[in-house]
A and B are shown apart, each in its own frame.
Chain A
């Protein structure tokens, strides 16, 4: 007869609870999830309207454009590279779409394809220069950021381009609403995020991306086409930045050559808050998306409680460091317990 049946079952229970805790804490999204819950709790406690349908719709709509860029930037960061030109690419693509519709009289659908193609080409150029000249992508895309911003200013002579006509494509991209204040751009973002999550987590290409950003020599030895993977990810980062520009044009009806200047750093911040490593090889798409929602929540929450606008920077700065520190700490705890 077993003398200690209760003690055994309680040990098993503790083990089960421990493994459950490890499996939850093992997710890199935990840091950003905790940050997001904290942000929501603080703003809700101060302003009850913060959790209203209208506010949540606004938050997700704002997060959609930043989040679309952040998904592309995360994908590239996991492969060990960086793109600082996403903000200029974002503005340029929106302007190309607006100009082709209003000034050249093109079909909006064709203009949309051309705008996206231009963005993908900018991404491809970033990749080609970085990989052939073997210079850090930080430098290549820093140059690209300035170059394409200048091109945008030259094309429009500084003026924003507005599309005043009712263009169904723009309504479909971001102008239309699906519920309360939630714009359709948020739906595209969620679908896109889901697709990129699937690619990263469930396909061989996803494994290649992780391997490319991790140990490059080992990845090469395993037959991973490192250069091709990086190039494709540069193209995807450019493409998504361009798509985000088109989504914003859809929502606002205008695009200025100077918009999206903070976008590269905000997208990187969203990715890092979401558990993506600046060194590559590690990261998650879901985390980056939650990072974008966190940043949009801070932006809107601070206005709602009447805080000075500049607190946004301080809050984001604090959240970036806190979420990353939490992720590192959790990583250590899990390793130690194993």
Chain B
């Protein structure tokens, strides 16, 4: 028994040290960090990570994607500071909290480390307070308004609408929710309720199902990303609510695309997150190599519907969209 335990411990150590060894061998290359507020456990961020890694391979530099397991800004800031201490040639980060990011980014810039923002940025009223060099991503609030407008023609005046949020407190998701809420209340005089469905699929289904039971007049559900969309689609499918409760979402993943083709989901916003990871590394590399200044890059606010779903489906399966 002791031998087995001993062997297991040695195997664990060998795995860890071996893994670290491969990292150490490449330690002196030009290194770029992309630090997000969540990690590749979320299908969305797995695509960003792929963009980062592909850019690193293409350019022949070390490009590292990092992010805490769950939405955690203090941990993200610690990662950013560690990247600074490690002598990064450039860092891209999501502006997940306007106040928390002002100081670390200012310090990085003071130390001569170029910083670009990706995916989400500070609210409009605070524009210019954080000295990142460029923003690569989409405007969350405007995208929220856009997806709501897409559904307007199919909703009646005063309709009841649910915004299912899977990461309450996340600035970007809250901004999307705000955009949706504004359009539905202003244009339709509708009743919008924000529902915290958590990141647990089973819980999410339970929460949504009981909400619909209590409010059978619900006309539409907006989900704010695949983690919210996947359980919602399952519930609509299982409960035979196709066509009775409309649904729209954000971001692409195979389940959402299939639901669009099946007519369960009306459409989804595509912010092309692969480009966010890829272009962040490219812009930082160009700055480090040729002092070319990073520029804002709108990764687009595409809206995928049944007619365009086939085109993007293959790319989603390949992990590029």
- A residues engaging B (CB < 8 A)? 42, 45-47, 49-50, 52, 54-55, 58, 62, 65, 153, 156-160, 162-164, 181, 248, 251-254, 256-259, 261-262, 296, 299-301, 303-311, 313-315, 318, 322
Contact = CB atoms under 8 A, between A and B. Distances in A.
B16 interface: yes
A96 to B, nearest CB: 16
Contact of A252 (B24, B64, B77): B77
Given A257-B168, A262-B69, 7 more contacts: A42-B17, A46-B27, A47-B24, A160-B73, A300-B78, A303-B83, A311-B19
Contacts of B20: 42, 46, 305, 307
B165 A158 contact: yes
A167 B100 CA distance: 15
Interface residues of B, number: 52
B228 interface: no
A160 B69 contact: no
Contact of B85 (A55, A299, A308): A55
B6 to A, nearest CB: 11
Contacts of B70: 261-262
A58 B78 contact: yes
A65 B167 CA distance: 23
Nearest to B102: A253
Interface string B181-211: 0000000000000101000000000000000
A47 B86 contact: yes
A254 B167 CA distance: 17
Contact of B73 (A42, A259, A305): A259
Contacts of A300: 78, 81-82, 85
B293 interface: no
A65 B73 CA distance: 14
A304 B174 contact: no
B169 A153 contact: yes
B78 A62 contact: yes
A252 B169 CA distance: 16
Contact of A256 (B64, B69, B87, B169): B169
A252 B74 contact: yes
B98 interface: yes
Contacts of A303: 33, 66, 78-79, 82-83, 86
B169 A156 contact: yes
Contacts of B167: 258
B174 A52 contact: no
A311 B17 CA distance: 12
Given A158-B174, A252-B99, A257 B83 contact: no
Nearest to A53: B85
Nearest to A46: B24
Nearest to B39: A309
A309 B70 CA distance: 11
A-B residue pairs, 10 tightest by C-beta: A303-B82, A162-B99, A158-B168, A253-B99, A304-B86, A258-B169, A46-B24, A252-B100, A300-B82, A254-B99
B71 interface: yes
B179 interface: no
B220 to A, nearest CB: 20
B196 A248 contact: no
Given A52-B85, A58-B78, A256 B39 contact: no
B82 A307 contact: no
